[in-house]
Copies of this chain bind each other. A is one copy, B any other.
Amino acid sequence: MLNIAMAQMEVLPGHPDKNTARILSLIEEARKKRADIVIFPEMAVPGYLLGDTWEQTSFLQDCESFGRDIIAASHGIVVMFGNIAVDWSRKNNDGRVRKYNAFFTAQNGHLIQPDNMPYPYVIKTLMPNYREFDDTRHFFSLQKLARELGTTPNHLISPVSLKIRDTRYSIGCLLCEDGWSDNYELQPFEVLRQNNPIDFFVNISASPYTLGKNEKRNRVFGWQAKTAAAPLFYVNAIGLQNNGKTIYTFDGSSTAYTKDGTIHAVSPEYQEDLAVVSLDGQNQRPASAPPEPPIAHIYRALHYGIRRFLENIHMKKVVIGISGGIDSAVAAALYADIIGPENLLLVNMPSVFNSQTTQGLSRTLAENLGCQYMVVPIQQSVDHTIEQLENTPVVLLKNGAESHLHVSSFVAENIQARDRSARILAGAAAAFGGGFTCNANKAETTVGYSTLYGDQSGFLAALADLWKYQIYELADYMNQTVYQREVIPQGIMDIVPSAELSSKQNVDEGKGDPLKYPYHDYLFRSFVERWQKASPQDILEWYAAGTLEENLGCRPGLVRQYFPTAQSFIEDLERWWNLFTGMAVAKRIQSPPVLAISRRAYGFDHREAQNGPYYTRKYLQLKNTLLQQ
């Protein structure tokens, strides 16, 4: 019986040299484990999220060169791997050289040509072009190739046939999206299944982690294996890849499905793994652990993502400004766990507006973590800044007229926030030999409830794809499961969220943020994460129909509790929509990279323009009706 090695490797984007070295070593290992076939993920040689590196001729040549090394290493074992394939004689539609996202099968030093293909490799048919995916930008699809050749995709989509120990196998080879064809007019899996006897399927992927995605994949791929009555081997990469503004973890979770659609073997999340499974499903691996709550997966994604990101940018030390609030506390507990308390410097930066309560909670948190700690007051600097701004004469040189700037209390709030981050934290981080974090959550990020060059700055916004309720869940999880003691003081969980930038935000008087998280978390989520994004028109229609809470997924009764009248409801809606599509866009353009967790993270994943707020005709009509009632 055939033994198949699923090589769930860590792919380093943009480093074909290191990836190839890893592939060659895993081929050796698979050979030792008596595997007949070893399967590597999609784009295992170059990595996947490379931006315009795909436009460098020399990089493409380099990937080809390393690909030849891998092919040469296929003696006595069949090697299946993803790499970029270049046809130097043809062009893409942008005039650049022709590139395919390709699936190579090598045996005894030679590539095996799929039955009906003009190239010695399988070409990706379906090109995802949503969220982080930009396949259409760089890669020429099988569909376009078919049109160019005057044939059909159905003809070109064909199995790879090869002989192992005198038995011939027909293998259905798919690349990632080829197996997710729900909304495409062409279904590569179905074409393969219907036109050919297939012994087994292989889906090589570079599929980033998204909360809840693996459950869906098991349904879809399990169904495929069952329908075809053939085993399916899904091999995904682990790793951390980014497109600048958004950072994705690749969780692996490679899975072997038996011909009846059940799961035969699963590789662990975020760990390299070389699972050798038999084609007939005999040597079944122990069943995977019982299902965990979503927050456990989120924690693992954050932990792996932060650790790997720090390694990638060679950062060993981190500075976090802690306020005594929940976001910075969760960040501190996470980073302490990853880099060790001696490499973590927590800085508390009180002004006259910071309560003894939050200063005490900050200190307790730092003590619980046992990390480096310093207290740097900012009042003297803030006073000096305001004094300089207000007392320095401004002269209009065309006529000599003199005036003075006035610093309002709102302006003074932002001066405090920038003083903390751009003056103290940035300086402290550089002197400490590291970077400082941005602790913004997704609700704040949505409406720009933050100061640019202040608390909106940092080298990474690791929590910016988590809603406030997820931050609290994570705090609980850290205490109960990760540390198994109260690292984050209960007082931090209980205190009202507040920026403490003025006397109007006094936590001891229960005053804090203008965000009503139990409602706004869910309202904002509908703006960003729904597949067809919600806008004020949808919100108002649901409100008028009495189905708002149901549609948003928040607690029933909340809306009436927070907003007794239609007018107060509409004022709140417009206030946040104006910010979300206005100033918050400007802030996000300059904010740090976001670690993606949800099905729609900010950055490159949620495309937006500085076009200002807009209200549709229907919205304005409905608003009018509601206000007149």
Which chain A residues have a beta carbon within 8 Å of chain B's beta carbons?
12-15, 17, 47, 49-53, 55-59, 61-62, 65-66, 91-97, 126, 128-130, 134, 136-137, 143-144, 147-148, 182-186, 241-245, 247, 312-313, 341-342, 345, 366-367, 369-376, 380-381, 384-386, 388-390, 392-399, 403, 405-408, 410-411, 414-415, 418-419, 421-424, 426-428, 430-432, 452-454, 457, 459, 531-538, 585-586, 588-593, 606-612, 614, 616-619
Closest 5 CB pairs of A and B: A370-B398, A422-B422, A51-B607, A14-B611, A58-B537
User: Given known contacts A396-B371, A431-B406, A611-B13, is B144 in contact with A137 (CB within 8 Å)?
Assistant: no
Q: Are B371 and A397 in contact, CB atoms less than 8 angstroms apart?
A: yes
A389 to B345, CA, bound (A): 13
For residue A381, give the distance in angstroms from its CB to the closest CB of chain B: 6
Contact of A405 among B57, B432, B532, B618 (CB under 8 A): B432
Q: How far is the CA of A62 from the CA of B536 in the complex (A)?
A: 13
User: What's the minimum C-beta distance from A334 to chain B, rounded to whole angstroms?
Assistant: 17
Across the interface, do A62 and B428 meet the contact criterion of CB distance under 8 Å? no
Q: Is the interface of A mostly helix, strand, loop or mixed?
A: mixed
Name the one of B374, B431, B531 contacting A407, with C-beta atoms under 8 angstroms. B431
A52-B608, A407-B427 are known contacts; what are 17 more A-B pairs with Cβ within 8 Å?
A: A13-B609, A15-B611, A47-B611, A52-B607, A53-B609, A56-B534, A59-B614, A95-B531, A97-B532, A130-B137, A144-B185, A242-B609, A244-B607, A245-B245, A589-B593, A590-B591, A590-B592
Q: Is the CB of B609 within 8 A of A532?
A: no
Provide the bound-state CA to CA distance between A333 and B306, in Å. 44
Shortest C-beta distance, A104 to chain B (Å), equals 19
Closest chain B residue to A340, Cβ basis: B398
Partner of A592, one of B385, B407, B589: B589
Question: A53: which B residues are within 8 A, CB to CB?
Answer: 608-609, 611, 614
Closest to A52 in B: B607
23 contacting pairs across A/B (C-beta < 8 A):
A13-B611, A17-B614, A52-B606, A52-B607, A57-B532, A57-B533, A58-B535, A61-B616, A62-B616, A94-B128, A96-B531, A96-B532, A134-B607, A143-B147, A243-B609, A312-B611, A313-B610, A370-B398, A410-B430, A411-B430, A453-B457, A590-B591, A590-B592
Residues of B within 8 A of A421 (CB): 422, 453
Contact A95 B182 (CB under 8 A): yes
Q: Which of A182, A381, A427 has the most B CB atoms < 10 Å from its CB? A: A427
Answer whether A51 and B608 are a contact pair too, CB < 8 Å, given A62-B617, A397-B373, A405-B431: yes
Chain B: CB-nearest residue to A50: B609
Which residues in B have their C-beta under 8 angstroms from that of A399? 370
Set of chain B residues within 8 Å of A245, measured between Cβ atoms: 245, 589
Residues on the B chain within 8 Å of A13, using CB? 609, 611
